[in-house]
Amino acid sequence: MFYLPLFHRLQGAQCLVVGGGQTALRKLRWLVRAEAQITVIAPQVDPEIQRMRDAGQLRIERTGFYAEAVHGQLRLVISATNAPEVSEAVFVAALKHGVLVNCVDRTELCTIIFPAIIDRLPILVAVSSMGQSPTLARSVRGWIETRLPQGLGRLAELAGRLRIQVKQGLPNVDERKAYWDSVFDSSAADKAIQGDLKAAVALAEEMLDGQTNSGQILLVGAGPGDPDLITLRGLRAIQTADVLMYDKLVNPALLDYARRDVELVDVGKQGPREEVVGATGWGAAASTPNKIRPTGTTMQAAINQRMVDEAMGGKKVVRLKGGDPFIFGRGGEELLVAAEHGLEVAVVPGITAGMAAASYAGIPLTHRHMSQSVRFLTGHRVVDAENVEWAEWARDDQTLVIYMGLVSLPKIQKRLLAAGRAETTPAVLIENATLTGQREIYGTLKTLPEQVEAAQITGPSVIIVGEVVDVPKQAEKARIAAKNPGQIPL
Ligand X SMILES: C[S@@+](CC[C@H](N)C(=O)[O-])C[C@H]1O[C@@H](n2cnc3c(N)ncnc32)[C@H](O)[C@@H]1O
432 in contact with ligand X (CB under 6 A): yes
**Residues whose CB is less than 8 angstroms from the CB of residue 361 and which lie 6 or more positions away in sequence, other chains included:** 428, 430, 433, 438, 440, 464, 472
* Contact by Cβ (8 Å): 10, 31: yes
d(CA 461, CA 490): 30
Residue whose beta carbon is closest to ligand X: 323
The angle subtended at Cα 6 by Cα 39 and Cα 176, nearest 5°, is 130
267 in contact with ligand X (CB under 6 A): no
d(CA 294, CA 26): 61
Burial class of residue 12, CB neighbours in 10 A (0-12, 13-18, 19+): exposed
Taking CB under 6 A as the criterion, the residue among 19, 149, 153, 224 binding ligand X is 224
Active site residue 226: no
* Contact by Cβ (8 Å): 85, 109: no
254 in contact with ligand X (CB under 6 A): no
d(CA 108, CA 126): 21
Active site residue 247: yes
Query: 461-465 and 398-403: which strand pairing?
Result: antiparallel
Taking CB under 6 A as the criterion, the residue among 213, 280, 352, 399 binding ligand X is 352
155 in contact with ligand X (CB under 6 A): no
- Residue 434 CB, nearest distance to ligand X (Å)? 6
Query: 100-103 and 243-246: which strand pairing?
Result: unpaired
Span of 6-14, 336-344, 460-468, 478-486 interacting with ligand X by CB under 6 A = 460-468
Q: Decide whether 151 or 221 has the Cβ nearer to ligand X.
A: 221
Taking CB under 6 A as the criterion, the residue among 403, 426, 449, 465 binding ligand X is 403
Q: Tell me the residue length of the chain.
A: 490
Query: Out of 269, 315, 316, 321, which one is annotated catalytic?
Result: 269
The angle subtended at Cα 218 by Cα 241 and Cα 356, nearest 5°, is 100
Taking CB under 6 A as the criterion, the residue among 433, 441, 445, 448 binding ligand X is 433
Site string for ligand X, 305-344 (x = CB under 6 A): ----------------xxxx--xxx---------------
268 in contact with ligand X (CB under 6 A): no
Q: Decide whether 152 or 382 has the Cβ nearer to ligand X.
A: 382
Query: Out of 247, 248, 266, 324, which one is annotated catalytic?
Result: 247
357 in contact with ligand X (CB under 6 A): yes
- Residue 272 CB, nearest distance to ligand X (Å)? 7
298 in contact with ligand X (CB under 6 A): no
**Beta-strand (E) ranges in 275-431?**
290-291, 316-321, 344-348, 373-378, 398-403, 426-431
- Binding residues for ligand X (CB under 6 A): 224-225, 249, 274-275, 321-324, 327-329, 352-353, 357, 403-404, 430, 432-434, 460-462
Q: List the catalytic residues.
A: 247, 269
